[in-house]
Amino acid sequence: MKGKRILLGISGGIAAYKCCTLVRLLVKQGASVQVLMTPDAADFVSPLTLSVLSKNPVHANFKNNNHEWNNHVELALNADLMIIAPATANTIGKMAHGICDNLLLATYFSAKCTVMFAPAMDLDMHAHKAIQNNINTLTGYGNYIIPAESGELASGLSGTGRMAEPETIAAHIESYFKKKNTLKGKQVLITAGPTYEAIDPVRFIGNHSTGKMGLSLATAFAEEGANVVLICGPGVQQIALPKNITRIDVVAAAQMHEACLKHFKQSDITVMSAAVADYRPAEMASSKIKKKSNGLDLTLVKNPDILHDLGTKKSAKQLLIGFALETDNERQHAAEKLKRKNLDMIVLNSLNDKGAGFGTDTNKVTLLFKSKRTKALPLMSKLDVATEIVKEVISM
């Protein structure tokens, strides 16, 4: 972290007091920390304390006491990283909806560097759909979430909403700066999201995949300097992507298959996280099927197993990684897929685990390797799961 310029944006929540420890940890590791506060944050922690600890003046307003302008654009453009901690429901809502009524927010909207945010609020606020939607919007814009932890809250209630501990936040920041472009020059192919198999012009067979896991994988590989081709099924959120990710949108398994075949040969690493439909209607009706009787028979035919096909074409220099989404006999089924599809690693997630699988921002996975080694990971954000997968790929 030596020499890194970190902007710490503190918004007005009780967890703000923990920022004193956070600043100390960052400064101790050699970072230069510039603290920004929302006007309310000063009710929870003294700007003077933060100024002494960071060895820098603390800014809370667009102008300081000498009537000088605090240039938010300059602050934003000079930073290597911005971290907003605690990120209150109010600040998260404003960040998600483009509301810019203080210096911290103006700096956030001007920032070109990676922005991390550590939500902190009471458990029912944190669980509220509107707030979860705002958090999803922010991660969808490419911001990096340091998830709230579970435990005792300032209200006296217990649940998820506590800001991550300063040591945890500092560890996220440290690991962000540790990334060394280890995969520079490597070509990575990733699939994400569902496939839709048309029944008629208005209906399809599909599944609940959102592509969050695949987007996280693309981000994690790109952060290590790889060139990523990301093949997305329908409905995967359109987010701003770094230059080294090329996105290709497809709808049905046949198109995903074709796109994978086009890019597989030149790929050093392939990770298939898409939930591909195993079957499609034998024929797509050319016009909307009308209701005629109580029942309707559909004849389905098998789709190509894309991963299996790539496994037969794989050279010794290529790494091929699959996912397994299971509901029973999880390990056994995943181990069978690993072998049958000629994979180097398979990432098992089970729908029996809370917070794992479709649509969530978190996942709980077990990695199974060709060498028979296994590694079970705890529940963590999908970005952290992706980072763990990237680490394994690097060591392979």
Of positions 107, 139, 210, 219, contacts ligand PMT by CB under 6 A: 210
**Cβ distance to ligand PMT smaller for residue 204 or 323:** 323
**Cβ distance to ligand PMT smaller for residue 91 or 210:** 210
Rounded CA-CA distance 192/132 in Å is 22
Minimum distance of ligand PMT from residue 174's CB (angstroms)? 27
CA 261 to chain centre: 26
Of positions 359, 375, 376, 396, contacts ligand PMT by CB under 6 A: 359
Q: Is 274 in the site for ligand PMT (CB under 6 A)?
A: yes
Choices 40-48, 105-113, 165-173, 204-212 (CB under 6 A): range interacting with ligand PMT = 204-212
Rounded CA-CA distance 349/341 in Å is 17
Rounded CA-CA distance 326/9 in Å is 41
Minimum distance of ligand PMT from residue 331's CB (angstroms)? 13
Choices 114-122, 126-134, 239-247, 351-359 (CB under 6 A): range interacting with ligand PMT = 351-359
Q: Is 76 in the site for ligand PMT (CB under 6 A)?
A: no
> Is 63 exposed, middle or buried (CB count within 10 Å of its CB: 0-12, 13-18, 19+)?
exposed
Query: DSSP secondary-structure letter at 288?
Result: P
Q: Is 357 in the site for ligand PMT (CB under 6 A)?
A: yes
Minimum distance of ligand PMT from residue 258's CB (angstroms)? 13
C-alpha angle 16/17/19, rounded to 5°?
70
Choices 12-20, 71-79, 85-93, 272-280 (CB under 6 A): range interacting with ligand PMT = 272-280
Q: Who contacts 78 (Cβ-Cβ below 8 Å, separation ≥6)? A: 5
Cβ count within 10 A of residue 347: 27
Q: Is 275 in the site for ligand PMT (CB under 6 A)?
A: yes
Rounded CA-CA distance 279/281 in Å is 7
Cβ count within 10 A of residue 312: 8
The helix (run of H) or strand (run of E) holding residue 232 is strand 227-232
Q: Is 272 in the site for ligand PMT (CB under 6 A)?
A: yes
Residue among 9, 266, 204 at smallest CA distance from 115: 9
Of positions 303, 362, 381, 387, contacts ligand PMT by CB under 6 A: 303
329 is catalytic: no
Residues that bind ligand PMT (CB under 6 A): 191, 193, 209-213, 253, 272-276, 278, 303, 305-307, 322-325, 337, 349, 357-359
Q: Which sequence positions are flagged as catalytic?
A: 207
